[in-house]
Structure 1
């Protein structure tokens, strides 16, 4: 079976995000970029399924600028077999990405698509669900456990009330949550091998998809700074402040 793993290039999660002075967006100049953490979990899960003998080939794909090739190389160094870069410098929204992935799925015919539940830059949590709708495939979101069987996959999901297990018919879409696994570090030999693994370059036009944004960002602002706390003398003063100043009582 073939597994398709979409990955996204985002600002590294350890970097403090800065907003541009004019409020037009986030400052990306000289900022460390890396693979979206949820997508790392997806790559790791695909590799584990292959190591268990339940998959034969892993394809990592990304939609983004030329630099996204580095993100694909990370996936290849972890253990993926080949990559596909859909090169575009435009800001891509989840629906455009889902449409590209739909065409890619039709070309590659994977039995399973595993991707992160959301990207840490826009936090949309939409691409996996949109892709499932476009393909008409079963979907298991927020997966904390994936058990691949014969023609089916059991996905344990994290929901508000605890855990829910759903049985999906293959082919299917699975989006990963944090507790699914712990991604491995790429070893130096695998990093060197990844340089020789193939990455095909495509464009949105190759798939007949218009990636022009449908949404307009009016302004980007930083969250308000947290104000310093104050000490209160007794419970009565605390209740008074909660009622009259905070307005929560």
Structure 2
């Protein structure tokens, strides 16, 4: 008794169009190659390079791609798409950019170029030099390295908490809008010539995102509400009580981050199919 190779159909099995297969057919993807193996779903001839092992027989690349397109992406309770690789890619990238900018500022300082005065944000120049609205969130005090270290450590903590749950693009969206919100509050509320720098506004936006998740996210997060409120209250008060800290940037980032996360949570709730 003949035993056809794994995944091959019997040579006499009819095609869907009523014809019959010969024992060997040119591969659908590589016509110069002949094969006796066919896709178990559509019947296309598939050579060794095109064969994708399945639970039963083999599938061709076209059927595999079609099946993958029809699969729903696995999402977290907050609506984020699970990352196949580093779940903190955006967090580490943001930390890397901040550290690289700080290193560049030190190099420029060696040739008597004070980059902080070109990149920091002061309301009086915000509209003439609008790039400062963004760049101010990536420069830090040159006289106080702890400013950078504390901000990056806090960003790492919140990146671990949020990026994997939100997904990369939505985490970056919350961070970016929080940065802009902090800059907007600085422009509106700070003295015109006061120079403001640092990632604190964007990081306070991540505080706000955690608050929004605690208030409006899945119920199991609400047990942390008291501790989150205390933590935010201490940090906000710190900005008002300690000289040299921009409470305006902190407040603007906090409001922007809370609002952005609230919108994302509302959209996710509407997008979820109702339970049967």
Q: Which has the higher strand share?
A: 1
TM over 0.5: no
TM-score range, shorter chain: under 0.3
Of structures 1 and 2, the one scoring higher in RCO (CA 8 A, sep 6+) is: 1
Larger radius of gyration: 2
